[in-house]
A and B are shown apart, each in its own frame.
Chain A
Amino acid sequence: MSRSIDISLRVNGEDVRATVPSRLNLVDFLREELSLTGSHVGCEHGVCGACTLTVDGDTVRGCLMLAAQADGKDVITIEGLAENGQSAQLQAAFTKHNALQCGFCTPGMLASAIGYVNAGGIADREAIRQHISGNYCRCTGYQSIVNAICDVIEEKSV
């Protein structure tokens, strides 16, 4: 009964209706029900940031929100950010700076970085480091990621 919940939400601009188990995480719903596998599932307790998504304009952890809680919300995944062009500049900068190796953290990293850039974040390495401290990357050592984000902000301000 209340263990399966009817929800209707917008995902990447499309209306979606579904009946979901109450315990289903938003990121699992997106990956398994909607086949939007761009958001990754890492730690499942909010530490690694691989599942970072945008809900009603705010970045959130997809593993710390139930699909049931997304009822009536506007969800944008990394697929949506790529489609609407929001991540294009950052993606190009990430490629240019080798800001990824295995790519597991990249969707979450991009979602966090977009949050920082859109909020008017400045090209300050310390501030960027602090902002992306909620996203683990085990390949790059972050240096190149910070370079890429700085690049995008500096280009925008020109």
Chain B
Amino acid sequence: MKAPDFDYLLPASLDAALAMLAEHGGEAMPLAGGQSLMPMMNFRVAAPEVLIDLANLSELRGISIEGDTIRIGAMTRYAELMADADVQKHIPIFGLALPHIAHDAIRNRGTIGGSIALADPAAEMPALLRALNAIVEAEGPDGTRMINADDFFLGMFETALDGELIKALHIPVATSEQRFGFHELTQRHGDYALAGVAVVQTSNTYRAAFFGVADRATRVPDLEQALEQQDDMASVLEHLGNIDFTDDLKANHTTRQRLAGVALKRALKGMTV
């Protein structure tokens, strides 16, 4: 289908965009790369009255290293992340994960901030940011707010943003104590995952964020603790029972739980050295 009608606005600055967002309130949606929002509009799942295109906001661009974190502008495209030497060096898990995010033509348009703001439960980026213990920098009428990725995703397509736009993501630079793993199971390479997981190991502690399994990117504290205690894999996987698994046409909750376990085992097997 085709998208319903909307007003198209192209602000030249972040302040102008925030003013437009404030003026139009719930009727407006920001447009980043459009690789998820456009399909949703074409399906008429999303029907904003006003579309605010963030393409010209230079404030949302750029990648820089600030102390022990790397700051990535929200409008950075996946293809730009894959090509960036600092990202490759300091966020090794992106090297494992980004090739699984859709396809070349979509990675040329899709942005890191757009994926986070949309909070699709099957998308890779929310889980990656949770596993990496990243911080979301949001800009609103009342100024800047730093939100932990763990507190950012509130449900299916629901985030902690409140009249704000994501300005940048802050990701801790990888240390020599860290190892990274990533695995997802899909019907076709580049499709949304039926189940997947991003794992960050720091010394003997773990952060494992699952995606495609529930209404949001999900961590299971008991499971992470079991990994830390080096419990046998069967007991580790038992903690997957804490997740409220999704049922849909592609896979029911039993299948998803099984696939999440497979993804975790494979991610742990393929950890970076």
Contacts and interface: CB of A to CB of B under 8 A. Distances in A.
Interface of B is mostly: loop
Contacts of A60: 105, 108-109
A112 B35 contact: no
A149 B184 CA distance: 27
A46 B6 contact: no
Contacts of B96: none
B3 to A, nearest CB: 5
Contacts, number: 95
B7 A69 contact: no
A115 B104 CA distance: 9
Contacts of B106: 46, 61, 64, 134
Interface string A94-138: 000000000000000000100110000000000001110111000
B39 A46 contact: yes
B270 interface: no
Contacts of A44: 1-2, 39, 42
Nearest to A116: B104
Interface residues on A, range: 20 to 34
B105 A23 contact: no
B226 interface: no
Given A23-B6, A59-B104, A61-B105, A130 B34 contact: no
A18 to B, nearest CB: 14
B7 to A, nearest CB: 4
Given A44-B42, A69-B55, A134-B104, A1 B7 contact: yes
Contacts of A39: none
B22 to A, nearest CB: 17
Given A58-B79, A59-B108, A45 B43 contact: yes
A117 B98 CA distance: 20
Contacts of B2: 23, 25, 28, 44
B53 interface: yes
A115 B108 CA distance: 11
B14 interface: no
Interface of A: 1-3, 5, 21-23, 25, 28, 44-46, 49, 52, 58-61, 63-66, 68-69, 112, 115-116, 129-131, 133-135
Interface of B: 1-10, 34-35, 38-39, 42-43, 51, 53, 55, 79, 99, 102-106, 108-109, 188-190
26 contacts: A2-B7, A3-B6, A22-B5, A23-B5, A23-B6, A44-B1, A46-B38, A49-B103, A58-B79, A58-B105, A58-B109, A59-B104, A59-B108, A63-B38, A63-B42, A64-B34, A64-B109, A66-B34, A68-B8, A68-B53, A129-B189, A130-B99, A130-B189, A134-B102, A134-B103, A134-B190
